[in-house]
Amino acid sequence: MTGDRTGYEYGGLAAGWRRGLAWIAATLAVALLIAIIALVGVTNQKRDAALSRQRHSYEVLIVIRDFDAAMARAEAALARFAISGEDDNGRAYFQQWSLAGQRLTTLTNLTMADPIQRPLVARTRALYALRGRELAGPARSAAAGEGWSALTLFDRTGKANSLKQVSQVVETISINERRMLTDLSANAARSVKLSNLMAGLLSVLGILLVLIGLMLARLALRAMRARREAGRRADVEADRAGTLERAVAERTRELQDANERLHAEALTRASTEAQLHQAQKMDAIGQLTGGIAHDFNNMLAIIVGGLELAKRRLPYPTPDVVHHLNHALDGAGRAAALTKRLLAFARAEPLRPEDVDAGDLVRDMLELLDRTLGERVQIQTSIRADGWLIWCDPHQLENTLLNLALNARDASRDGGNVLIVTDNVRLKMAEVGDLAAGDYLRIDVRDDGCGMEKAVLERAFEPFFTTKAVGKGTGLGLSQIFGFVRQSSGEVVILSEPGEGTCVSLFLPRYTGKTRRNAVPATTTPNVREAKGETILVVEDDPRVRMSTVDALEELGYCPLPCASGLEALAALAERADVSLVISDVVMPGMSGPELVDRIRAERSEIACIFVTGYVGDSDNGDRLRGQDVLRKPFTMAGLARAVATALDGCRNAERAA
């Protein structure tokens, strides 16, 4: 009995030690669990603080980019204001300059607590004020109508050191903020990694608690009392462990979801910033290109007119002189074609839209495309039978499809296939670019050529950008297509992968008119009749272009009357009753050409009118030119003679019919 009792006591003592050790292990596990939960809380707070600093850095980068873009747009608007003297450009300059000031104030508030960025922002504000004082001179001169003085002052301010200093300080702020953003992103990543590690430890600890509960249950089987008590405690511990495990799993899922949302937000923001930057860049390039092409067209008009007058007035034209003059005229013609492409990219080329069946247009072009692309390129079409009509300039659309087909041929070095597809599509808002919701006709030009790298694809629409060898292309084909499609209220999209070919898609709005309308019926070219000394009013704000036109009309046998503005033309018409024709520029300071012609026709409907333009300017001017007699700059004397004769004959025919 003694031995049994001793063995029982020894076994009970060993079981007690085991139970005690198990309870100690459970207590330590709970303490460790509490410590890990506290660490998870601290880690989450650090992560949230790092994310908040990331958002603050993104805001600083966006504001400094907006400030830099507003400064650039303000100076571009001031340049146009100095060139044209138009009030709209002046207002655009002051609006953009004020917007830059607002963005600078926002930047000051955002960097108030940053000891590194605060002095740089203060330096930027000082340079902004200095730059404003420098630009005030050309702005005042442009507002006063002092064109050359304004251009001279603006050119001088463009060379000022303040402009370079502003760019340097803005770049320094951006570099500092990006460096800080990089550090914050690394800290956030470390915080997330640490949170995941803590979650893993919690899971391991939960498993450990389950094992301890099983150990207690096994010990409780040795005695009824101990078994009931151990069973109760094991159930409690198991429930607690399950609750902790579910909580840990839920928290882990929340952390993973937050991390995925943060990653998606960063990708979306980066994509949006890239699209915004590309749109701003293309808009700035388009405005600058349009202004330069407009001025260049005026200079070409003077050059072509002078060359033709010199050719006609040579007393003894020798073959060498005639050859050089013809060569110069040919060069001027090529330059005119180049400016026309630039204006198309800038969406300032006057269009003559009409309702177009794109399927019929593509079928009519097939023979031309076959001859142009050669036998090694196979052309295929997939034209929808019930394709919608579109409203666009058919000649520009033909040039667009021809340019795309030539690009497809060049991309297929050893021959290949070109597929032209038309289809009706119904788009949602902003589903393609910035297009409004509605019905569109999609025209695809696909090839199986070499495709384009991402870097090339991002710059495909920039003027003069080309991957072809020197002398193989101007780099204006896609930029002209971009301008034409945008001017026609559509969108162009390029999909391409290296080695997989390219697909260029044109989205043009559906024409919803009730009847078919053609812009101008086909007519035979009229014979140029002999001038009879008719009085022609020439309205042109550029004095050199005006005098060139006057000289050409005098050479043709007419009696030109020059006017520098719309008001001056109205005053001349009030004094002269013998005016038979008005030749007017479209874009002029004060009163535009269409406004002047409306005034003239309201008072003297018998006077014929011809618009002379190489640049539409506002979209309203392009709409008002539809159905009018238009002579494009730069024009030849033969073209001027035909336009004048046609207008005068048309006016006389209308009088006889009346």
Nearest alpha-carbon partner for 80 in 615, 521, 496: 615
- For residue 516, is it within any domain? no
Please say whether the beta carbons of 627 and 354 come within 8 A: no
Distance of alpha carbon 268 from alpha carbon 272, whole angstroms = 6
Residues 473 and 531 in one domain: no
Residue 570 belongs to what domain range?
A: 299-352+526-658
Residue 342 has pLDDT above 60, yes or no: no
Give the confidence band of 307 by pLDDT, cuts at 50, 70, 90.
low
* 588: pLDDT strictly greater than 70: yes
Query: What mean pLDDT comes out for the span 335-359?
Result: 64
Q: Compute the Cα dihedral for 306, 312, 318, 324 and give only its sign.
A: positive
Which of 64-73, 352-361, 366-375, 387-396 shows the lowest per-residue confidence on average (mean pLDDT)? 366-375
CB 604 within 8 A of CB 573: yes
pLDDT, mean of residues 266-271: 67
State the residue for tokens 């958002």.
Answer: 55
Q: Could you tell me if residue 17 is inside a domain? A: no
> What are φ and ψ of residue 178, in 5° steps?
-65, -40
Is the same domain home to 544 and 423? Answer: no
Mean pLDDT of 232-251: 85
Name the band, by pLDDT with cuts 50, 70 and 90, for residue 347.
very low
Query: Which domain CATH number covers 546?
Result: 3.40.50.2300
463 pLDDT tier (thresholds 50, 70, 90):
low
- The answer to whether residues 76 and 284 touch, using CB atoms and an 8 Å cutoff, is yes
> Does 324 have pLDDT greater than 50?
yes
Task: Specify if 564 maps to a domain.
Answer: yes
Asked whether residue 293 is domain-assigned, the answer is: no
Residues 403-459 have pLDDT tens digits of 888 888 887 767 788 999 999 999 998 888 888 899 999 999 998 888 888 877 777
Per-residue pLDDT, 618: 43
Tokens representing 561 are 């009357």
Helices and strands, number each (H, E), in the chain: 16, 12
In a domain, 210, yes or no: yes
Structure tokens that stand for 346 in this block: 């800038």
Q: Could you tell me the pLDDT band of residue 357, with boundaries at 50, 70 and 90?
A: very high
Residues 502 and 544 in one domain: no
Helix (H, G, I), strand (E, B) or coil at 170: helix
Domain endpoint, select from 465, 480, 509: 509
DSSP 276-301: HHHHHHHHHHHHHHHHHHHHHHHHHH
In this predicted structure, what is the pLDDT of residue 520? 38
* Closest by Cα among 577, 504, 579 to 562: 579
State residue 300's pLDDT score: 65
Both 197 and 118 in one domain: the answer is yes
Distance of alpha carbon 454 from alpha carbon 241, whole angstroms: 53
Q: To 10 degrees, the CA torsion angle through 163, 168, 172, 174?
A: 50
What is the domain-level CATH number for residue 445? Answer: 3.30.565.10
Q: Which residue did the predictor score with more confidence, 330 or 383?
A: 383
Asked if 89 and 238 sit in the same domain, the reply is yes
Question: Among the three residues 287, 320, 341, which one is the final residue of a domain in this structure?
Answer: 287
Is the same domain home to 110 and 200?
yes
Question: Beta 501-509 vs 491-497: how paired, if at all?
Answer: antiparallel
CA–CA gap between residue 22 and residue 28 (Å, rounded): 10
Average pLDDT, the chain: 77
Q: Is residue 464 part of a domain?
A: yes
Q: Do the beta carbons of residue 588 and residue 316 sit within 8 Å?
A: no
Both tokens of 131, joined, read 């730059």
Query: Rounded CA gap, 329 and 338, in Å?
Result: 14
Give yes or no: residues 307 and 421 share one domain: no
Q: What is the rounded distance in angstroms from the CA atom of residue 473 to the CA atom of residue 464?
A: 9
- Per-residue pLDDT tens for 537-584? 999 988 888 888 888 888 888 999 999 998 998 998 989 888 889 999
Q: In this predicted model, what pLDDT tens digit does every residue of 119-138 receive, in sequence order?
A: 988 888 888 888 888 888 88
Q: Cα(344)–Cα(351) distance, rounded to whole angstroms? A: 9
Give the model's pLDDT for residue 516: 46
The answer on 233 and 129 residing in a single domain is yes
| pLDDT the model gives residue 440 | 94
Asked whether residue 372 is assigned to any structural domain, the reply reads: yes
Report yes or no: 635 and 336 within 8 Å, Cβ to Cβ.
no
Location of structure tokens 């919701």: 437
Residues 413 and 336 in one domain: no
Same domain, 372 and 386: yes
Query: Does residue 360 share a domain with residue 342?
Result: no
Q: Residues 620-624: what's their mean pLDDT? A: 51
Higher-pLDDT residue of 448 and 210 is: 448
Q: pLDDT at residue 43 above 50?
A: yes
Please determine, for residue 619, whether its predicted confidence score (pLDDT) is greater than 50: no
pLDDT mean over 92-108: 89
Q: What angle do CA 151, 155, 157 make, to 5 degrees?
A: 115
Q: For residue 85, what is the DSSP state?
A: -
Most confident range, picked from 137-141, 212-216, 371-375, 529-533: 137-141
pLDDT score for 655: 59
When pLDDT is cut at 50, 70 and 90, the band that residue 155 belongs to is confident
C-alpha span between 513 and 528 (Å, rounded): 37
pLDDT tens digits, 487-508: 788 998 889 888 888 999 999 9
Task: Give residue 621's pLDDT.
Answer: 47
Query: Does the pLDDT value for residue 10 go beyond 60?
Result: no
Residues 201 and 243 in one domain: yes
The domain boundary, picked from 452, 482, 509, lies at: 509
The answer to whether residue 56 scores a pLDDT higher than 80 is yes
pLDDT digits (tens, 9 = 90+) for 512-542: 875 444 433 333 344 555 677 889 999 998 8
Q: Is residue 52 part of a domain?
A: yes
The pLDDT value recorded for residue 471 is 47
Q: What pLDDT is stored for residue 59 in this prediction?
A: 85
In angstroms, the CA 278 to CA 447 distance is 26
Residue 309: which region, alpha, beta or left (left: phi > 0; alpha: psi -120 to 50)? Answer: alpha
Read off the pLDDT of each residue in 179-190 and give the average, rounded to a whole number: 79
Looking at the 3D structure of the chain, how many domains does it have?
3
Tell me which H or E stretch contains 382: strand 377-383
For residues 644 and 650, give the distance between their C-alpha atoms in angstroms, rounded to a whole number: 10
In whole angstroms, what is the distance from residue 287 CA to residue 289 CA?
A: 5
Per cent of the chain over pLDDT 70 is 72
Residue 504, pLDDT score? 92
Largest CA distance in the chain: 152
